[in-house]
Amino acid sequence: MSLLKPAKFFLGLSSALVLTSAVLLFIPGPKMSIDFTGGTMTEIRLPEGIEKSNVEEALSTFESENPLGNVALTKTKSSTVLMRMRDISNDEHLALLGHLRNELGQIKELQFTTIGPTVGASLKKRSFWALGIAAIAIVLYIAFAFRKVPRKLSPWRFGIIAVITLIHDVLITVGIFILISQVTSFEFDTLFITALLTILGYSVNDTIVIFDRIRDNLTEQGRKEDFAEVADRSLSQSITRSINTSVSTLIMLSCLFILGSESIRWFVLTLIIGAVIGTYSSLFLATPLLVYWKKKQ
C-alpha cells in the first residue's frame, strides 16, 4: 500500500490546523506569564476553609501608596492560589503578606517571583530570536548534509521542507496550548519556549532519517524508478523505525508526566504533544511536500 496516497487528506488536515492555530494567535491570543510581561507572581497556601473569594476580599482592603491595580487570582490543582500583579517592591511584598495573614490567618508563601517590564520584553525578543536562529541553522545544516544528493535535486529543498514541517509543528502546538490556557492556569513562559526548541530538534531528527533514506535509495545503481516511487519506498522502510522511536519516547514522557514534579508538568505535556505532531509531520507531511515540489519542476 502506498503511504503517499492519503497525502492530500493529511495536507488538507495540516493546512486547516495551521490556519486555526494562526487565528488563535490573535483571537484569543496566548496568555503570557510574567516572564514576558513583567510583574510579580506569588503562590500561597491558604488555611483550611479559606476560599479564593476570601482572598479577593482581603486584597480589596489592602492599602498602599501605589494601588496594586488588577490582581489575577488562579486556584491550582494543589489547592494553592497564584496571584499575579504589577511589579512590587520588597516592602510592598512584606506589607501584603502581613495584611493577608491578618485577614485570612496563617497563610504560607510557596514562591515569590518578580520581573521588571524591561527584562520581560527582552526575554520575549530573545525567545523569538532563538526560534528563528534555530530554523535558519537547520536549513543550512540540511542543505550542507544533502549537498551531494543525486538526480539534480536541490539540497535546499530538503532544508526548506524540513523547516516548513517544523513551523507546522510549532504552530499547532502553540495553538493547542492557547486553548489549554483558556481553561487552566497554564501560561506561556520561558520553559515553554525551551520545550518548543526541544520539539524542533526531535522533529527534524525524524524528518532527516526519512530524507536520508530517500537519498540512499536514489544513489542505488540500476534503478529507474520515478522519484515518487523512491520516496514512497523510502517512507515505507522508515515508518516502523519512526513509530517505534516515538512510542518509546512517549512511554518515558508519560511516566514523567504522571510521576514527575508539578513544576515541570506543563513542560512534559508540551513535549508529549510535540512528539506526536512531529512524528505525524515527518511521516505524512515532509515526504509528500518533497514529492509535490519535484513534480512541479
Give the model confidence (pLDDT) of 46-102 as tens digits.
888 888 888 888 888 888 878 877 787 877 766 788 888 888 888 888 998 998 999
How many CB atoms sit inside 10 A of residue 133's CB? Answer: 10
26 pLDDT tier (thresholds 50, 70, 90):
very high
pLDDT at 119 over 70: no
Let me know: does 207 contact 54? Beta carbons within 8 Å. no
The verdict on 108 and 127 lying in the same domain is: no
The verdict on 169 and 255 lying in the same domain is: yes
Give dist(CA 204, CA 51) in Å, integer. 47
* Domain endpoint, select from 82, 115, 148: 115
The verdict on 104 and 52 lying in the same domain is: yes
Please give the pLDDT value at position 187: 85
The verdict on 219 and 272 lying in the same domain is: yes
Let me know: does 289 contact 161? Beta carbons within 8 Å. yes
Number of domains in the chain: 2
Q: Is 1 domain-assigned?
A: no
CA pseudo-torsion sign 247, 169, 177, 194? positive
Q: Is 2 domain-assigned?
A: no
Query: Which has the closest alpha carbon to 175: 16, 282, 12?
Result: 16
151 pLDDT tier (thresholds 50, 70, 90):
low
Residue for grid cell 515553554: 192
| Residue 84 dihedral angles phi and psi, to the nearest 5° | -115, 130
Which residue segment(s) compose the domain that 150 sits in? 7-31+119-295
pTM of the model: 0.82
CA pseudo-torsion sign 168, 121, 179, 256? positive
Please give the pLDDT value at position 236: 87
**Is the model more confident about 38 or about 284?**
284
Radius of gyration, CA atoms only, the chain: 24
**Residues near 4 by Cβ (< 8 Å), separated by ≥ 6?**
228, 231, 232, 235, 287, 288, 291
* Domain endpoint, select from 115, 139, 168: 115
The verdict on 175 and 274 lying in the same domain is: yes
Q: Give the 3-state secondary structure of residue 112.
A: strand
